Structure formats: structure tokens, C-alpha cells
Amino acid sequence: MKSLIRIFAIVPLGFFLVAAYSVFSAPHEPAFNAPDKAAVIAQIDHSFMVAAYAITWTIQLGYLAWLAFKSQAQKQDAGRASRSLR
């Protein structure tokens, strides 16, 4: 169970890397009078939307991983306490 929780804790890091890649690989904003400015801005908007969703999933899954670690620690503490009462 511990190894599964550790693997699950790596998933938010992957989402964070996706968000960082999406932001840093987005094209630069074109000049004011560029002919295909709307297409480039649509690509930029999409990149930042992907990054926003990835950050949201990073926060949510990171919190779930933290809860799993805390739950595991409480179970271990309860097991130690019951063994020491015997």
C-alpha cells in the first residue's frame, strides 16, 4: 500500500510538468499588425487553458496524495499504540 501511495504522489508532479511545458512552449504574442494574429492568439489561449487545468489537477491530486500519506501515518500510529497496550 505504501508503494502505491508513493506512486500516486508522483502523478501531480507529472501534471505540473505538463502545465510548465504548456506555458513555456506557447508561441509568443504576435505583433499588433500580424496577418494571422487571431490564429496565434487562439493557440496561446489553448496553451494557457491546458496549463490551468493541469495546475488544477495538480492541486487536487496532490491534496489526495497528502491525505493518503496522513491516513497511512495514522493507521501506523494506531497499530503502534495498540501493540504497546498489550
pLDDT in tens, 42-85: 999 999 999 999 999 999 999 999 999 999 988 888 877 777 76
How far apart CA 49 and CA 55 sit, in angstroms, is 10
pLDDT in tens, 12-34: 999 999 999 999 998 888 888 88
Report how far Cα 21 is from the mean position of its chain's Cα atoms: 13
Determine the average pLDDT of the residues in 35-46. Answer: 89
| Nearest residue to 14 (alpha-carbon basis) of 68, 71, 70, 65 | 65
**Cβ neighbours of 50 (radius 10 Å):** 16
pTM of the prediction? 0.75
The structural domain count of the chain equals: 1
- Report the phi/psi class of residue 39: left, alpha or beta, with left for phi > 0 and alpha for psi in -120 to 50: alpha
Question: What residues make up the domain containing 10?
Answer: 2-85
* Residue 33 confidence (pLDDT): 83
* Residue 85 confidence (pLDDT): 65
